[in-house]
Amino acid sequence: MKNVCQKIAIAFSILAILTLTACERPPVDSKQTGYRGTGMDQINNPRTQEQLAKINEMPAGIPASPDGPKAGAVYKNIKVLNNLSTAQFGVFMVSMTSWVAPKEGCSYCHNVQNFADDSLYTKTVARRMIQMNQQINGNWGDHVKLTGVTCYTCHRGNNIPKNVWFNPVDNRGGNMLGNANGQNNPVDTVAYSSLPNQPFASYLMEKSGPARVIGDTALPTGNKASIQSTENVYGMMTHMSHSLGVNCTYCHNSRAFSSWEQSTPQRVQAWYGIQMLKDINTNFLTPLSSVFPANRLGPSGDVAKANCATCHQGVNKPLLGQSMLKDYPYLAPNRDMPKDSAHSTAQ
């Protein structure tokens, strides 16, 4: 009997250890960001911060002279960045390869027997992604500030960024319980909550509505958001919070969540981020649906699209606010470049 009790105790101990591995153990750092009593604090775990610092290490840049013959005059079939010097063009090709396809090398996008050949779909996609970088850096400064983005911001050495999303499969009619709306299927996307785990189509496409559940007027005309739409909004907000490694009060004032006047400046920047995602998902990524092969499409036949985690990857400033654009200024046309990464202010 004694041996049985010991085995049971050991089993419970192992279960307790496995259960508590998802919990944060102290000590944690706390920083008050609002008035006392409002619960506006940012909590950080030093151990997690160390891990995130490694994930967000910035690769060394490779400066190149803008002088000399232009790439468009020297090489065949250069459709973007043809105004770069051959030195800049060569450096950028090497850099982009290390950012996106370090294992495959040049052959990921090019027919190495004929670099001018456009037969590989990845080359067509890469051209459009360069233009997307220029669009973000040139026209979405309200979100990316002077820090901007490069291919590495999202890809981090992967062919496909780790944090992307596809349209969810509509299972209505095929499930006796109806449409689960992605609930009770906890994934990292929404911090393993039971909220809808794919709320992005509702808020991150061109014709998407605002992530809002509180009406501008009282009942009976206002505040009529359904339970499902409310859950979608909370799923989106949870995703944003988890993607940036912050809590709700990073953007919202806890005493008046809906009030823009009482919110932090980060809420405005987050709003611009949502508009930016609508732009790139609708105008740059979705139109590539016919270019990608079937194995690169989602279950609904759509391309992989971006959300907050695609760039941020657990920190409120991608790459911890370090800018790579000083070495690749042609990815941010028509704007001033930061003098060094220490002066970066992007969120």
Is-contact 276 140, C-beta < 8 A? yes
How far apart, in whole angstroms, are the C-alpha atoms of residue 111 and residue 94? 16
Place of tokens 């060394």: 60
How far apart, in whole angstroms, are the C-alpha atoms of residue 245 and residue 308? 11
pLDDT of 158 > 90? The answer is yes
Is-contact 102 108, C-beta < 8 A? no
How far apart, in whole angstroms, are the C-alpha atoms of residue 213 and residue 257? 11
* Residue range 20-33, pLDDT digits in tens: 544 566 678 888 88
How far apart, in whole angstroms, are the C-alpha atoms of residue 318 and residue 153? 7
Superfamily of domain 163-312: Photosynthetic Reaction Center, subunit C, domain 2 (1.10.468.10)
Close Cβ partners of 322 (under 8 Å, ≥ 6 residues apart): 58, 147, 341, 344
pLDDT of 131 > 50? The answer is yes
Write down the pTM of the prediction. 0.85
Confidence band of 74 (pLDDT split at 50, 70, 90): very high
The ranges assigned to domains in the chain are: 63-155+315-347, 163-312
Q: Return the H-helix or E-strand segment holding 96.
A: helix 86-100
Close Cβ partners of 29 (under 8 Å, ≥ 6 residues apart): 43, 44, 45, 46
How far apart, in whole angstroms, are the C-alpha atoms of residue 143 and residue 308? 12
pLDDT of 283 > 70? The answer is yes
Close Cβ partners of 208 (under 8 Å, ≥ 6 residues apart): 201, 202, 278
Cα 70 to chain centroid distance, Å, stands at 34
CB-based burial, 269-287: b 16+ in 10 Å, e otherwise: bbbebbebbbbbbbebbee
Is-contact 331 61, C-beta < 8 A? no
Residues linked to residue 164 through DSSP beta bridges, in sequence order = 306
Place of tokens 């008035």: 35
* 63-155+315-347 CATH pick, 1.20.1260.10, 1.10.287.1060, 1.10.468.10, 3.10.105.10: 1.10.468.10
How many CA atoms does the CB half-sphere of 69 hold within 13 Å?
Answer: 5
Same fold yes or no, 63-155+315-347 and 163-312 = yes
Q: What pLDDT was estimated at residue 342?
A: 36
Mean pLDDT, residues 307-320 taken together = 95
* Residue range 33-63, pLDDT digits in tens: 888 877 788 888 888 888 888 889 999 988 8
Mean pLDDT, residues 265-282 taken together = 96
Mean pLDDT, residues 4-11 taken together = 65
How far apart, in whole angstroms, are the C-alpha atoms of residue 105 and residue 247? 39
* Residue range 195-229, pLDDT digits in tens: 888 889 999 998 888 888 877 777 777 677 778 88
